[in-house]
Structure 1
């Protein structure tokens, strides 16, 4: 198997180049709209580096809880500002939404990004009381899955987590060692093992692994591997590929949002 091609999503999605541009434009419009009403708190720092910050979006009334969404991009691309509008569905259901950025490879290693997201979850949890739900896409799916390792979060924060949804996650990082992207990731065998959720124990938190039916076979395999290892929910979303599988976050009545926030 050509692993570089197997993990190449954009090359197999028609019009893939338009998605990031559209996401960024829609996210900017969303932030401006919520900023006018005072419901966008932007650039809240959880660490000392520029990218160690999150945006917090608030519903009209007192939040029912906090959803934290972590973006993907193979730990090498994107920023929280590209995804803001994906808070729409949760806000309509009365939930606050935090979206963190994090330092990217090759500046840091994946294990460092995992620790950054743990810090982001901790700081965001201090901003909004009540239950916490985690969702992440692709590399972000890996990162939210890592949050429920037994030693990742403090007991005070971990006990507030009600549901985790890794969307099209990377659950076993060992194959990535043999890809060209590892020039940036710098994964070795030990880090790949330690950072693979499917190979780790987890806290007894409800988990739903969500993946698009039209995704690359390796992503279907990665999702199945995590669901089997953790004996958790596993949803294969008909007609969705790697880039539009997250569209359910936009609609408060979508199957994805109902599952994420009511399970």
Structure 2
């Protein structure tokens, strides 16, 4: 028998499953291994410059052809995993289109709190500003962080892939064990609640094989912002991370 509802139609077990990507993509370990292998290959081929902003490192992959500015990509990992060692796999396709690609490290939860992570990424944006216009993207929790930055700061464009944009259900799920926020912070860090403040051209993408809650959040963000949407048929959460490097989303991003 199903338990009491805790968020929309979800009981506690269903909501916990909605925020556990392993339920929807049992091949998650293979995808994470591919991220790292493809990043290593990109580093070997493109030889990024290693820079520091604040206490963190950043890989800056050089643009090829006519320079078009910076593409800053924020990695996923449920706010508590991954690094720039797993997140440079978009660089070959984007540098070929003229973008210098910046892939930063930043603090992870629970060692730091989410507001602190956002502050670090603000510093990263300020560090990169003198190098040219910044196009911003993020995947999963990185899409959430990118959306928060897009509410607060100006960008040439913003591309969000498979993110969450309302934190209330996150704090009701099992993720509350390491995502600790008060009500004011939940409001401030739920970009869908400040959707009207996003000024940059905005694109959202998600796969049809993702958690229904992640799909719902993406559809709600599109409805709130009027963003261009890119639905990826049959694609799971981890495969969706490659969308900025191929297909219709890549074409739009580099147009």
> Under a length normalisation based on structure 1, what TM-score does the superposition of the two structures give?
0.87
* Alignment of structure 1 residues 221-240 onto 2, 5 Å: 221-240=216-235
1:256 matched to 2:249: yes
Q: Is contact 1:53-1:120 (8 Å) kept?
A: no
User: CA-to-partner distance for each residue in 1:107-140, whole Å, 9 max, x for gaps?
Assistant: 11111111111111121222x22x3211100111
1:142 matched to 2:144: yes
- 2:184 maps to 190
User: 1:216 deviation in Å?
Assistant: 0.8
* Higher alpha-carbon deviation: 231-240 or 97-106: 231-240
* Alignment of structure 1 residues 4-19 onto 2, 5 Å: 4-19=16-31
Give ranges in structure 2 of 5+ residues lacking alignment: 1-9
Cα separation, 2, equivalents of 1:76 and 1:7? 14
Moved over 3 A (4+): none
User: 1:54 deviation in Å?
Assistant: 1.3
Give ranges in structure 1 of 5+ residues lacking alignment: none
User: 1:175 deviation in Å?
Assistant: 0.5
User: CA-to-partner distance for each residue in 1:48-93, whole Å, 9 max, x for gaps?
Assistant: 3xxx221100023452111111001111100011011211211111
> Under a length normalisation based on structure 2, what TM-score does the superposition of the two structures give?
0.89
Cα separation, 2, equivalents of 1:82 and 1:148? 23
Cα separation, 2, equivalents of 1:136 and 1:221? 18
CA RMSD of aligned residues (A): 1.5
Size of the alignment, in residue pairs? 242
User: 1:229 deviation in Å?
Assistant: 1.3
Choose which of 116, 124, 128 in structure 2 pairs with 1:124. 128
